[in-house]
Chain A
Amino acid sequence: NAGVTQTPKFRILKIGQSMTLQCTQDMNHNYMYWYRQDPGMGLKLIYYSVGAGITDKGEVPNGYNVSRSTTEDFPLRLELAAPSQTSVYFCASSSGGGINEKLFFGSGTQLSVL
C-alpha cells in the first residue's frame, strides 16, 4: 500500500522560481490537504479539497495555488518563490470528516528558498 506519496523529498529554489509539489493517494480519499510546518512550529493549513473539482483556502494560502482534477492527485503550485516559503510541506488525505478523520500523511517535502 503506497498511501500518500509526495515528490520531491527535497528541493532548493532560487527567489522568484516556480515549482509544483506533487501529491497522490491511492486510497480513494475524498479529502486532501496541504500543510506547511516551519521549524519548531505546528502545521498550518494552506489549502484543502473535499473532492475532485473542489478546493478551498486554509489559514495561509497566499503565494500558493492548488488544483484537484482527479480524486488521486492534489498538486501544490508555488508561482514566485520567496524565502518565507522555506518550510516542510506535508500532503495528507482522509476518507471524510468527523470522528473517522484519520489523516494519512505523506513523508513531507523539505523546501528551501534562497
Chain B
Amino acid sequence: AQTVTQSQPEMSVQEAETVTLSCTYDTSENNYYLFWYKQPPSRQMILVIRQEAYKQQNATENRFSVNFQKAAKSFSLKISDSQLGDTAMYFCAKLPPGKLIFGTGTRLQVFP
C-alpha cells in the first residue's frame, strides 16, 4: 500500500526561527513526485514546494526547502525565518501515477 507518514501531529516555533517538519513514505516505484501543501484556517490547499524523486538536488522555494533522502524514503520540510502567516496545517503528499496520496498532517503554530 502507498502510505505517507507524518509523525509530528503538532509543532510550534517562534517567529523568525527555523522549523523542520518530517515526512516518510512507502513506494515501490523508482520515479515519483513529492509535495508539501499548506492548509490555513480558510481550508484552502496551497502548494508550498515539490520535488521529483529522480533529482538529487533538494528543492528550494524562498524560505522553504526540503531535505530529500531517497534511500531513507524521507522528505522533510524546513521553514526558515518563520512568519506568523506560516501558521497552518502542513501536508506531505506523494504522487504515484494518477493519484496524490496525503499524510495526516502537522499543525504548525508560529508564535510571536
Number of interface residues of B (CB under 8 A): 23
Number of interface residues of A (CB under 8 A): 26
Which residues 12-67 in A have Cβ within 8 Å of B in the complex? 31, 33, 35, 40-45, 48, 50, 56, 58-59
Assess whether A75 is interfacial by the CB under 8 Å rule. Answer: no
Chain B 87-112 near chain A by CB (<8 Å), digits 1 or 0 = 00001000101111111110100000
| Residues of chain B within 8 A of A101, CB atoms compared | 33, 35, 50, 95, 100
* A44 and B98 contacting across the interface, CB-CB below 8 Å: no
| Residues of chain A within 8 A of B43, CB atoms compared | 88, 107-108
* A-B interface contact total, Cβ < 8 Å: 55
* A42 and B99 contacting across the interface, CB-CB below 8 Å: no
B99 to chain A, nearest CB (A): 5
| Residues of chain A within 8 A of B45, CB atoms compared | 90, 92, 103, 105
Assess whether B15 is interfacial by the CB under 8 Å rule. Answer: no
* A43 and B99 contacting across the interface, CB-CB below 8 Å: no
* B99 and A58 contacting across the interface, CB-CB below 8 Å: yes
Given contacts A105-B44, A107-B43, contact A56 B98 (CB under 8 A): yes
Listed in ascending order, the chain B residues whose CB lies under 8 Å from chain A are 6, 9, 33, 35, 37, 43-45, 47, 50, 52, 91, 95, 97-105, 107
Listed in ascending order, the chain A residues whose CB lies under 8 Å from chain B are 31, 33, 35, 40-45, 48, 50, 56, 58-59, 88, 90, 92, 97-99, 101-103, 105, 107-108
